[in-house]
Amino acid sequence: MERSDKEFCSDACRSLNWQRNNRVPVSAYTAEDFEGLRAAIARREQRLVEFGKKARLVGYSLRRLHPKRELTRIGVVEFPNPDRKTKRFPDESGVTRVLRGRYFRWAPFEPPRVPVAGYYTTILHFEDDSVLEIGEHSVEKVFPAVPFHDKEGNRYDLKGKMIPKRSPTTAKARRKYVPRKHSTPNDSVVPVEPTILEHIRVAVARAIQAEREVDRLRGLATPPSDNREQAARLDSIGDQMAMLTAKLSAAESQISQAEARAARAEAQLAQTSETVRFLEAKLKHTALSASAAEDALFESRRDRGKLARQVEELRQSAAASVRTGATVSAVVESPTIASKPAPAQPSSAAAPPAKPATVPSEQSVTRSVGQSATPPAAVKPAVLHRKTLSILKPGGGRI
């Protein structure tokens, strides 16, 4: 409830008061407040790079209609305005600049300055001067002081009223503002109370102002009769755009889910690769162990063959020794047996020849010297067992 007749000490004070009431300080916003828009542009840039887009992304711009759709004279408005210099978001050093350009910077990311919150059509600008429209995205942080503008260069506020162009100031108008001096009450001047007529004039002025405000609001609420069909068409187009925006949001959510599944699949693939590498290393180690075992088996088989050959040689040498001993015995006994003739057999059938007795050499020598030889038929042959060959083996063990 401020007074309507209040005065300011200077133009700067009046401007500061208006800015405090109608503008949001830039320091209240940060680049993180526009993270949704930045993430959407980053996803689209990554997909374009994957599809083979070689041109580098340099910036983006926004586009939308005026909030009051019946104001068709304004049409579609672009942010930033490519035909004039516009104020930009403060850079990393905190400096706010006024630049001429048809897009906001992408690297580093420059947040947009738009007048109203809502969905804006996003357009990407590439290094080779090509552009690409990627649909509508939401912007929640706004700057109400940013005006709308048409193709002729006229500016409009949020209510659709045209902002008058400033006329070039003269030297007289550029003079320093000097506040008006307030008159001090004088004792000689008697204060006069307002009369009834003055009260009536003030009441009439307030009533007229209230009626004008009511008429203005009624005109804003009810569109002109000439533009009803066009307004209905614009409303239908707006509904279609809302449906398309909802479908696009659903598609983006599905794409995000697919990207998350792809990331999980990549993680599982990396884990499987680690397992495969571990199994390959284990298989190599097993192959080396098997090769060493085969070498050891081959060595054992070769040693076994050597031992078998040595045993065979020992057996042959033992057999040769036995045969040599039997031959010597037969040679020593043959003269003794021949000195005495064998008695004749009374049977008509001839007796079968007797097998030569296998007698040790020591016994045959003794008999030939001091005793008479026993007939060959009465001598019992000595049986040679395998154990008797053990005396020929070094150590006396069994073969």
- What is the pTM (predicted TM-score) of this model? 0.40
Instruction: Please say if the pLDDT value at position 261 is more than 80.
Output: yes
Contact, 132 vs 149, CB < 8 A? no
Contact, 359 vs 365, CB < 8 A? no
Predicted pLDDT of residue 361: 42
Query: Which of 77, 67, 72, 68 has its CA nearest to residue 230?
Result: 72
Instruction: Please say if the pLDDT value at position 330 is more than 60.
Output: no
Instruction: Please say if the pLDDT value at position 152 is more than 60.
Output: yes
Predicted pLDDT of residue 154: 83
Cβ atoms within 10 Å of 146's Cβ, excluding its own: 20
41, 43, 46, 48 alpha-carbon torsion, rounded to 10°: -70
The top-scoring range by mean pLDDT among 86-100, 102-116, 327-341, 382-396 is 102-116
The per-residue pLDDT of the chain, averaged, comes to: 75
N-term to C-term CA, the chain:
129
| Contact partners, residue 318, CB within 8 Å, separation at least 6 | 389, 392, 393, 399
- Residues 177-194 pLDDT 10s: 566 655 555 444 445 455
Phi/psi for 320 (5° steps) reads: -65, -40
Q: What's the pLDDT band for 132 if we cut at 50, 70, 90?
A: very high
Alpha-carbon 218 to chain mean position: 57
- Residues 276-325 pLDDT 10s: 989 999 999 898 888 888 888 988 888 988 899 899 889 888 888 887 76
The pair of structure tokens assigned to 288 is 């080396």
Q: For residues 4-18, give the mean pLDDT.
A: 82
For the chain, the structural domain boundaries read: 10-164
What CA–CA distance (Å, rounded) separates 88 from 209? 38
